[in-house]
Every structure is written in C-alpha cells, then in structure tokens.
Structure 1
Amino acid sequence: MRKFGSPFHSANHQQPAPKLRIAVVGAGYWGPNLARNLQASPDWDLVAICDLNIDRARKLADTLGQIPCVESIDELLDSFDVDAVAIATPARTHHGAVMTALRAGKHVLVEKPLADSREHGLEMVAEARANGLILMADHTYCYTPAVLKMQELVQSGSLGDILFVDSTRINLGLVQPDVDVFWDLAPHDLSILDFVLPGGLNPAEVSAFGADPLGTGRDCVGHLNFRLPNDATAHVHVNWLSPTKIRQMVIGGSLRTLVWDDLNPQQRLSVYDRGVSLDRQPKTAGEKASTAVSYRLGDTWSPALPEREALGQVVQELASCIRTGRQARTGGASGLRVLSVLEAVTRSLTLDGRPTSVAGAAMAGTGAELEGAR
C-alpha cells in the first residue's frame, strides 16, 4: 500500500494530495460508468482495465485514452501498482475477486450486491477489517443529491416518527441470467433505506411474495414486506414486466410525508405537510380505539437540489476514506445488511411468503457477527 505525505507544502499554501491509483475490473454494463468517473476525478489515476473479454476491455480503454488492459485480476495485481480496485462484475464473482484484492493489500469498491451470499459477504468484510482496508459497496443512489436530502430530512426529525415506507421500482427490463428480480432491483431500495433510516436497515424478519408468469425460472415480479421500529412498516415492489417505468419512494411520518420520484428531474423530492392527526397521543389499546382522528391539510414544498452525477461522489468518497482511514458511508457493513435481507427474501420465497428471520439482525452494528467470521 502506498503512503501519502502531508498535503500541505507550507503553513499557508495547500498542495494537492497525490492521486491514488486504481484499476477497474469488469468492462460490461457498469464498468464503463465507473471508469469514466474515475478518469475524470482529480483524486484518481485510472491505470488499467481488466476483463475476461479482452476485446471488450480494449474497446472501453480506447474511449479513455489507451488505458492498458489485462484479462485477469491476478495479472492485474502482478503487473500494476494500484491502491484500489473497483469491481463491476456479476455478483457470483465478487467474493473471489474481492478476496484476491484484499489479500494483496488493496482497497476495494464493489458493485451491488456486495456478494452472492451472506457467508461470502461476512468473509469479505472480516478480511477488510483484519487488514485495515476500505471495502465500500457501490450503493450509488445513496450519493445522489435527492437521497442525501432524504437522509437529512428523516434523521433531523423533520418528518416526525416514521409510520410507513412504500417503494416502487418497476420497468420493462431484461430477465437476468443469474438473479431474480429481488436480487436485481431491490438492493437499490434496501440500500437507500439503510442509508436514510435512523439505525439503518435492521428488520428482524421479512415476508416476500414472487411470481414468474412467463415461466423464466426466476421471479419477475415481487413484493417485500417488513416491520420498522414502533410498529411502522415497509413495502418494496419490484417488477421486470411493467410497460411503465417507476422509481418512487414514499416515506410517511407523523409530521410530514416525503415523496421521492427519481424520474422527475424538475421535482425529485416533495414534502407534504398533510396526513392523519390524533387529538392526543393514545397510551392504551382502548384509548387508540376511541381516539378521534382528523386530517391535516398543509403546504407542499420541493427542496432545491444540485444536479451532479452520483458516481462522481462515490469515487470521491472512496478516495477520502482511503486518505483519512474512516469507514465509507456505504461500507462493507452496509452491504452486508442489505445482503442479509436479500437472503431472508430468498428463504421466504421458498416458504410461500411466510415470515423469515434475517440472519444477524440482532447483532447488526455490534461487530459480533464479524468476529465470528474470522
């Protein structure tokens, strides 16, 4: 691992920190987006592209100024001195690629989901922790101006107590060859909830219902439900078969309700001062039944948001974490929480939607489950 000197040339003149060196593994769907943002970043020097399909790697490299290309991560690590590796390959390959990079002393940014199983995710997080390395999940949505503002509004208490979350992510999309619609689309919504909600994503159990009306061999339509603290509830709807594309999340609070519409660039966020009001806070079941309900009809406003590409913030966050030693806002632990929910979803599907426990939920944030993975 390379070392970095003081960023200050003198007491009054700040000297830019030296660029970090990185390689991108995977030149398919997401790799080109990562490579473009790394190439444009003042924090990074993109030194190589790695892909089993060397022609695809060279095609990407040509758009970036003749970046060197290799076919394997072993060749990459043997041939280039890098500080970090950005992995944008199918989930089934994440464990092997990430563990190889971590054992070589490299920091890692890995595409969602973190891994193809919770067991593999635990090993990856524990390996990074044991070696003092950054393992960061590329939960890109968490670095968009809209979701950053959502986090601020929720965690500041502006919405009051959270009563419900209803998220919809549907489109006419390609049936993936290796994952169902939950593993393909739900990581976005789950990572946003982990980022936005106080205490993160930590349901004790989930219920999931899926359907495969086309006979593809994997669920193409799905509904996921789980409870939040204080008897609140969350629902996530994912669908590959919808002719309309919707990317929307509603977070209802006791004071205000927040609506995020990612496909409306003129008004991505709306805050509604409308909802149900109780004349007084009931303390018992009997009081709840007799408490008068009224409706609050207030103003609606839309926060002003800057327009910037989220991936630029992702690669900036990775560089900052490496230089300061702090954990990423979407670090390995966040990726592991999302992965744990996805595995519980899969178990619930095999049980016809019966509630299924989320492994490690009781230990989330304590570090105890990571100790057991070493």
Structure 2
Amino acid sequence: MTERLSVAVVGAGYWGPNLARNFSASPDWDLAVICDLDIARAQQVADRVGGVAVSASLDEVLADPSIDAVAVATPARTHHPIVMAALRAGKHVTVEKPLADERGRGAEMVETARASGLVLMADHTYCYTPAVLKIRELIAAGELGEILFVDSVRINLGLIQPDVDVFWDLAPHDLSIIDFVLPHGLDAETVAAHGADPLHTGKACVGYLTMPLSGGAIAHIHVNWLSPTKIRQMVIGGTKRTLVWDDLNPQQRLSVYDRGVDLAEQSKTTTSDARAAHISYRLGDTWSPALPEKEALSSMTAEFASAIREKRQARTDGASGLRVLSILEAARGSLEAAGAPYPVHTTHRSDNS
C-alpha cells in the first residue's frame, strides 16, 4: 500500500469546499486541516467533510511537519505570498487559477519550487475533465490533422469580479485548455485583445482575444459577463477533421466532424488569382466519442499525489500556469494599446506538460 499524503486546504470560500470534498474522498490523501481567516466558514467546510481540524493561522498550518502539501483557493492577489510561504516551509503546492496576479510573481513561485525540488501545480481543473483529456488524446493521435484554428466561447450572465476583469476571470480556463491539448501549447508570440465596459464598472466586462499560433493557426477567445445565455463551447479545426466541445451538453459533449475544405495544389497557370486554386468540400461522417463519468477534481488530486510520489512535474505544472499568465499580461498590454498586437513573454513547455 502506498502511504497516504497529508494536505491542508487554504481558503474556504467558493472553490475551497470543492477541493476539501475531493481530497477527503481521495485514496491518496488525508485532509488534515481547513485554513481560513473566517474560522466559522472554515468550520462549516470541515463539518461537511467529516469534521477535520480548522485553523485561522497559515503560519500554524505551515509549521506542522506532518503536512506534505497545501491546496490554495484564495483570491489571486494572495497567491504569491501564500504559495511562497508554503514552498519555503517545504510543502508541495497546488493553486487555483490564475497562478498569480502578475507574471513576475508567478515566475518567482515557479523558480522557487524548482530550486526546492517541490511540486507546484496549477489547478487548471478543466484539463482533468474526461472531455478535455479525450481532446488531447485525439489531437496527439493525429485524428484532426494539423491544427488550423481554435475558436472558444465562454459567456454567461456572471458575477462581475471586484478585483479582476473578464479576461482574468474567464479566459484562464480556455487558455489552459489550449495549452494542454495542442502539441506546442500556448506558443503565441503576440496577442490582440479588445474589451468593453458598457456598464462603466471600471473593468472590461466583454472581451475578445486573438492569438496567432505556430504553423499559421489562429486562436480566438470570446469572454463575457453580460450574456443572458450561458455558452461553454470550443471548436478546434484541423486539416482532417473538426472537433466541437459543448460542455453544457451532457448527452454529447464532443462531436468530431469529418467535414471541411480541401485546398488542392494551385492551378499551374500564370494567373495569381486565388480563385485559380482547386477547392473541394468534404462532407463525411460525424461521431461522438464515449466519455467516462469522472469528476475532474478527483483526477486532479490523483495527479498531484502522483507527481509528488514520482518526483516529477505535474501535467498542469507551474510553467503551464506561467504561460497562461503571460497571455493575460499581453492581453492587458494590448487593451492599453487600443487592441494593437502585444508581445508575449514566452515560457516553453516541458516534455512532462
């Protein structure tokens, strides 16, 4: 039997209870303590998962030598100090998106973990859903061919966040998925972002983000807090097939279309007219892969434990969180430049990502 690891959940607000429930149910973990400045809120979460200990002192939690790891579910502006304190205390860390509130702080977290031989994992939860794992598998197997475009929509009538705009709130999900499923990850060199604040909240509530990718592909992300309808959809087009992921359709989350445009060799004429190209339309079958029913956070906690035991980087490691941060910071720069393309501080993907 593999010895169970001990974890503390820091933050008992929106996401902390989900983490606590999954760590408590995991065969890999013992949930040791819920830590939150609001001790009553921490107690409510603890009671739901069997009455584990609670604490209002992060220092007290980090000083406990029996605790192997910390799961951070607090506002983004607090990630850097909490994670740095945990790493200095010798704890492995998983932290919810985004990794930090700015790239420089995220880079320091990643470097500290690397130098200390500790696992720093970005809790990019969608990357552990059966649908996204299947998308990654299909692309890796060449089922879609060379990727031509990614078009993602994440809109709803949502909560306007007090500390971040719609890009920093919603786009990390789509960015982390793109980084996870594409062979070269988030390799964009520039980002163009357009945002609007029609309610005069002081931050973008509607946003459009465009990134050229390697090989001539392009990715586009639409995020919106003001839509009366909720849409969670990603379309990934390739030279062989196109995949549509509809996260709100439990009966058919994934659809693979053998339909597209085939562009034959350019006509061997002297004209430069693009219409001289031979274009044909492919109308083949549509199929839907079978997906297992498994909660993403359950898979995330298992991956966190495996990475620690095997002394390797997690699938969604700190570097993947840093690549997402790099895109978000470039988007912020593009917004300030009225939508002009803005350079991305690149972070290369490791072989383990």
TM-score normalised by L of structure 1: 0.91
> Aligned partner of 1:107: which letter?
H
> Aligned partner of 2:221: which letter?
V
Secondary structure (helix, strand or coil) at the match of 1:159 reads coil
Q: Is the 8 A contact 1:223 1:238 kept in 2?
A: yes
Secondary structure (helix, strand or coil) at the match of 2:63 reads helix
Partners of 1:19 and 1:321 in 2: how far apart? 13
Partners of 1:81 and 1:325 in 2: how far apart? 19
Aligned counterpart, 1:364:
348
User: Which of 34, 43, 50 in structure 1 is aligned with 2:35?
Assistant: 50
Unaligned stretches of 5+ in structure 2?
A: none
Aligned counterpart, 1:217:
202
Partners of 2:12 and 2:350 in 1: how far apart? 36
Instruction: From the superposition, tell whether residues 130 and 259 of structure 1 become closer, same or farther in structure 2 (CA, over 3 Å).
Output: same
Aligned counterpart, 1:259:
244
Aligned counterpart, 1:308:
294
Q: Percent identity of the aligned residues?
A: 67
Query: For 1:226-241, what aligned pairs fall within 5 Å after superposition?
Result: 226-241=211-226
Instruction: After superposition, give the CA deviation of every residue in 1:256-289 in whole Å (9 maximum; x if it has no partner).
Output: 0000000001100000000101233789994855
Aligned counterpart, 2:175:
190
Partners of 1:185 and 1:311 in 2: how far apart? 18
Secondary structure (helix, strand or coil) at the match of 1:114 reads coil
Matched, 1:298 2:299: no
Secondary structure (helix, strand or coil) at the match of 2:43 reads helix
Unaligned stretches of 5+ in structure 1?
A: 1-15, 368-374
Matched, 1:103 2:88: yes
Partners of 1:308 and 1:282 in 2: how far apart? 51
Instruction: After superposition, give the CA deviation of every residue in 1:86-118 in whole Å (9 maximum; x if it has no partner).
Output: 000000000000000000000000000000010
Instruction: From the superposition, tell whether residues 235 and 82 of structure 1 become closer, same or farther in structure 2 (CA, over 3 Å).
Output: same
Matched, 1:64 2:49: yes
Aligned counterpart, 1:271:
256
Q: Is the 8 A contact 1:190 1:201 kept in 2?
A: yes
Aligned counterpart, 1:175:
160
Matched, 1:153 2:145: no
Instruction: After superposition, give the CA deviation of every residue in 1:15-34 in whole Å (9 maximum; x if it has no partner).
Output: x1111000000000000000
Aligned counterpart, 2:308:
322
Q: Which moved more, 1:154-163 or 1:95-104?
A: 154-163
Instruction: After superposition, give the CA deviation of every residue in 1:60-111 in whole Å (9 maximum; x if it has no partner).
Output: 1111122111112112112462000000000000000000000000000000
Instruction: From the superposition, tell whether residues 279 and 103 of structure 1 become closer, same or farther in structure 2 (CA, over 3 Å).
Output: same
Partners of 2:321 and 2:154 in 1: how far apart? 19
Partners of 2:16 and 2:185 in 1: how far apart? 28
Partners of 1:131 and 1:281 in 2: how far apart? 56
Instruction: After superposition, give the CA deviation of every residue in 1:305-342 in whole Å (9 maximum; x if it has no partner).
Output: 00110000000000000101111000001000000000
Partners of 1:260 and 1:188 in 2: how far apart? 14
Q: Is the 8 A contact 1:282 1:288 kept in 2?
A: no
Aligned counterpart, 2:118:
133
TM-score normalised by L of structure 2: 0.96
